[in-house]
Structure 1
Amino acid sequence: MTTNTHTPAGPLRFPIAEPPAPGEPLEVAEGVLWLRMPLPFALDHINLWLVEDGDGWTLIDTGIASAETKGLWDAVPAHPALKGKPARRLICTHFHPDHMGLAGWLTEHLNVGLWATQGEWATGMLLSLDTSDALVETHVGFYRRAGFPEDRLALVHKRGNAYAPRVSPLPRAYRRIEDGETISIGGRDWRVIVGRGHAPEHAALYCAEAGLLISGDQILPTISPNVSLWPNEPEANPLDQFLRSLARFADLPPDTLTLPSHGLPFFGVPQRVAALLAHHAERLEAAAEACGDGGGRTAADMVPDLFRRTLDDHQLFFAVGEVLAHLRHLEASGLVTRARREDGADLYRRLGA
């Protein structure tokens, strides 16, 4: 997740000024609790949601697999806000470890089933199981083409499979949810809205009756979700997928209370969609300019141009992935060309430069 903030197009309204303390449920709407969990990254939290479901609760997302998060979850069922009602199911918006990392542990711990889209469950399952040398070599080849020097490629080797250590063993069985499907939670209908680009088949949940959108990472209030090109699908165009997905949220009523995975709940999803579209238009122009006027530059060369701050190792991989995603979109649009250098790195050149 990148932390490049930008001003929304039009005012957003934030009805709750302060988040709850880690592990302390807070009611944000009738029958909906906000649960915040810590993350060991620059983006230091994730928002989880508990929706009252008759004689129990439906849980939305899990937090990362860590002893700290497990300890916080252990105290949740006995919290007065849950009224003594048990969990009935777990829905994960997408496979990222802060969202699905404790799916295996929670489903066993609370004796509930996992609900997710097929793309998210399958991607998480594959990445959690593949710790092979072949996976690492695939990553090394990808980042060599991105222009990583040898010291950075050594970091790729050291990093290995960065996903597996951050998740508990995922459930081997799940209940598939699909785009457009209606899920009844507590007598209210919640429609699944699938978005792409940030993740393969990200599931947001919209309840028209309650005026609520659980947006996951697809719509965040002050940052763009990370939209990256990754080694497992090196010829994809994730930014195109993300931008097209935003149209699915643009017509939601402005008074919809949006419950994002990071940041504060807000009103104004159409304004936020417009701001995200404008933001990525600016980033595309910046990426095109970063290609320069000479014989071309690598994606790694361009990271300092698009991220003008110090990046830790974790952020570096997201940053180069975002640069690549914007360059791929420009290439697919016929605005940038790509050529392979003798050392195996790809050089991007702006057409007409």
Structure 2
Amino acid sequence: MLRTDGQLHYLRETPPKDAETIEIAPGILWLRLPLPFRLNHVNIWLLREEDGWTIIDTGAGTQQARELWEAVLGSVLSGARINRIICTHGHTDHIGLAGWLVQRAEAPFAATLVEWLSAQVRLSESQLPMRSEVVRFMAAHGCDARTIEAYRNDRRRTHALLGEMPGAIERLRDGATITFGGRQWRIMVCGGHTLEHASFWCEADNILIAGDQVLSKISPMIGVYPGEPWADPLAEYLGSLNRFRELPADALVLPSHGLPFRGLHTRLDQLQHHHELRLDHLARLMDGPLTTMELTHGLFPKAVAEGQGRHALAETIAHAHYLIARPAVRDDDG
């Protein structure tokens, strides 16, 4: 354990490079794949088994990621059987190469049902013109034609990295036990970041494969999008933090972005506080007659300036929905 940041204890100073892998716990290898986004990487976990390997997440559908997978399959995984490929959730950076890798490795695929289906819906939608419901949603939140066109282009770029989905799944269910990597894991299915995000808890070895639900440096994206315009994902996400508090404070956390760490409860406190501050800020902004897009500029000026307006708007709506559904929270904030 090399570095301490506040009360988070990181196991390593630096992540693995390119097709390099690092054994972060007995039988668990850490692979990092690049992403063509502002968030420029995703962590992949390779778990050794007596007769092969299980892979957690696949990366986005870029040529660079495919080439790195070929390098890994030709080195550390050379000649080995891939027993299972698991995706924590259906975002492009996690499931984008799932169909390709399942076919390449001739391996079965596991995910929650909703995440598998939602990825297929997004893949289908990406091949169609943007629906009128999306345009109306954005216009209702104060977006002008230029912003809507930027949304269209950003959506097109992201969806281009989402490849064909596996044709069948082993369904992951909340509270069920699954065995991989020579360990038993309890599946924790939580909402907020996505509808049915799967994390995996190994009580025997005190290890949490957290996915995007608990990240070491950033808060996972909590947003409302046109497909479910009245959703309250922040309530689901904050509820998930309480579930993770039931796990030991010194658990080894393997996140999908950033560095592996110990200090779970400290990080949960930080994430809770982060959203409380954001809600307080938004409550003050909502005292004036502003559109949601104007609120977004006030709440996320840096993200908007850096071209992240689509996600910043989604986050603003999520926080606004939380406040609107809970007038007492807004009253307490002034």
TM bucket normalised to smaller? over 0.9
Structure 1 stretches lacking a partner, 5+ long? 1-7, 338-349
Equivalent AA in structure 2 for residue 286 of structure 1: H
Residue 325 of structure 1 corresponds to: 318
Residue 137 of structure 2 corresponds to: 142
Q: Quick one: which of 189, 192, 196 aligns to 1:194? A: 189
Q: Tell me, in whole angstroms, the C-alpha distance in 2 between the residues paired with 1:308 and 1:323.
A: 12
Q: Tell me, in whole angstroms, the C-alpha distance in 2 between the residues paired with 1:305 and 1:335.
A: 23
Contact between 2:33 and 2:43, CA under 8 Å: does it hold in 1?
yes
Q: What are the equivalent positions in structure 2 for 1:35-46 lying under 5 Å apart?
A: 35-46=31-42
Deviation digits for residues 240-298 of structure 1, max 9, x if unmatched?
010011111012112211000110000011111111111111110111111234xx211
TM-score under structure 1 length normalisation: 0.88
Calculate percent identity across the aligned residue pairs. Answer: 38
Equivalent AA in structure 2 for residue 192 of structure 1: I
Contact between 1:24 and 1:35, CA under 8 Å: does it hold in 2?
yes
Q: Tell me, in whole angstroms, the C-alpha distance in 1 between the residues paired with 2:282 and 2:246.
A: 29
Q: Tell me, in whole angstroms, the C-alpha distance in 2 between the residues paired with 1:285 and 1:151.
A: 30
RCO greater where, 1 or 2, for CA within 8 Å and sep 6 or more? 1
Distance apart, 1:133 and its partner CA: 5.1
Distance apart, 1:139 and its partner CA: 1.5
Residue 168 of structure 2 corresponds to: 173
Deviation digits for residues 53-97 of structure 1, max 9, x if unmatched?
2211100000000100000000102324x4752321100000000
Residue 119 of structure 2 corresponds to: 124
Q: What are the equivalent positions in structure 2 for 1:275-314 lying under 5 Å apart?
A: 275-293=270-288, 296-309=289-302, 311=304
Distance apart, 1:99 and its partner CA: 0.3
What number of residue pairs does the alignment pair up? 331
Residues 155/185 of structure 1: CA separation in 2 closer, same or farther (3 Å cut): same
Contact between 1:195 and 1:246, CA under 8 Å: does it hold in 2?
no
Residue 76 of structure 1 corresponds to: 72
**2:8 equivalent to 1:12:** yes
Residues 153/336 of structure 1: CA separation in 2 closer, same or farther (3 Å cut): farther
Residue 53 of structure 2 corresponds to: 57
Residues 134/21 of structure 1: CA separation in 2 closer, same or farther (3 Å cut): closer
Residues 42/158 of structure 1: CA separation in 2 closer, same or farther (3 Å cut): closer
* Partner secondary structure for residue 190 of structure 1: strand
Q: What are the equivalent positions in structure 2 for 1:224-263 lying under 5 Å apart?
A: 224-263=219-258
Structure 2 stretches lacking a partner, 5+ long? none
Equivalent AA in structure 2 for residue 219 of structure 1: V
Equivalent AA in structure 1 for residue 182 of structure 2: G
Q: Tell me, in whole angstroms, the C-alpha distance in 2 between the residues paired with 1:130 and 1:252.
A: 38
Q: Tell me, in whole angstroms, the C-alpha distance in 1 between the residues paired with 2:257 and 2:82.
A: 23
Q: Tell me, in whole angstroms, the C-alpha distance in 1 between the residues paired with 2:307 and 2:82.
A: 33
**Which shows bigger deviation, 28-37 or 138-147?**
138-147
Equivalent AA in structure 2 for residue 328 of structure 1: H
For the aligned residue pairs, the C-alpha RMSD in angstroms reads 2.3
Residues 131/198 of structure 1: CA separation in 2 closer, same or farther (3 Å cut): same
Residues 144/9 of structure 1: CA separation in 2 closer, same or farther (3 Å cut): farther
Contact between 1:136 and 1:156, CA under 8 Å: does it hold in 2?
no
Runs of 4+ residues deviating >6 angstroms: 350-353
Contact between 2:280 and 2:333, CA under 8 Å: does it hold in 1?
no
Larger helix fraction of residues: 2
Residues 253/336 of structure 1: CA separation in 2 closer, same or farther (3 Å cut): closer
